[in-house]
Amino acid sequence: MREIVVFSGSAHRALAFGICERLGVPLSPVELTRFSNDCLQAQLQANCRQRDVYLVQPLVPPTQEHLMELLLMVDAARGASADKITAVIPYYAYARSDKKDASRLSIGGRLVADMLATAGVDRVITMTLHAPQVHAFFSVPVDHLTALGVLADHFLGQDLTNAVVVSPDFGNAKTATQFARLLGLPVAAGSKKRLADDRVVIDAIVGDVAGRRAIVLDDEIATGGSILELLDRLGDQGCVEAAVACTHGLFVGKAVERLRGHPMISEVVTTDTVPPPSVAADWPELRVLSVAGLLAEAVARVHAGESVASLFDDVDPTLGTPQPRLFD
């Protein structure tokens, strides 16, 4: 079996180190150079010839910079005769650009997928896409992981008496329902209308939240606008407290200022698919759970030709092993 070689761009080396530690392999160095004309160059500092190469790079801000680093690393690995090249993209930012809902609008999710395939990627490992249909934009195999099990384990260690899982919108309600099943809780959802990237209106809550503790589940938190609007509506409906959970805690703009110390929030739980905010040490309500072990297990299974779907048999049936069907 070809040996594993893991490289990382500058987006999130701490996560790459965590993955390598669990795999028992070193994180191989990459030299990234910026020329006077602002062009980037990537040089892989370890032998790739006939190796199974994994490139760890979430597309976090500055997103375009990190995307270009990833493309250059893919090109370098292909030019170095790698046997297989897998892009490990825990956070695929362009998944938010998944449809043409206005005239003359670009679809970034598909374009970036095409760029990765053209550069030479043979497979993609990602986690919690903003829209599941983005999976179909790729012309190469995609292993779509979920952090629901990691998040659920955190809350299962707490007293969940009188708690309810709440989705900020109906689009996330299916995932919230699955999360509620793992916790054995009821589910509610907000009716949300987005006015701008950082402005939303939630005009109703579907479900019983009065007198309950809410566990708000979203796939990512950027500016925190949706969460604040939801908390206002939950408070109007008699909700007494809220824990906020997400897979991708970007916390850009005024998100930390908005969420830290909010009177209704007992804790904010996220994972390390993206780097934690610089003020994490001064935010006692923040809990960052590691998904390095889950990503490392996915890498090990891909390398060994084993099932990745079976990781989620007890977490999310839509991502788990297909079940046999009975026909008349």
- CA-closest candidate to residue 283, choices 221, 190, 230, 210: 221
Tell me how far the alpha carbon of residue 230 is from its chain's centroid. 21
Residue 285 carries which side chain, given as an amino acid letter? Answer: E
Contact assessment for residue 298 and residue 308, using Cβ atoms and an 8 Å cutoff: yes
192 a catalytic residue: yes
Give me the catalytic one of 99, 174, 192, 193: 192
- Other C-beta atoms closer than 10 Å to the C-beta of 324 total 5
CA distance 67 to 11: 9
Give the side-chain half-sphere CA count within 13 A for 20.
21
C-alpha to C-alpha distance for 295 and 298, rounded to whole angstroms: 5
Residues 6+ positions from 174 with CB-CB distance below 8 Å: none
As a whole number of angstroms, the distance between CA 234 and CA 208 comes to 10
The token duo for 130 is: 């903003």
SS3 33: strand
Q: Which residues are catalytic?
A: 192
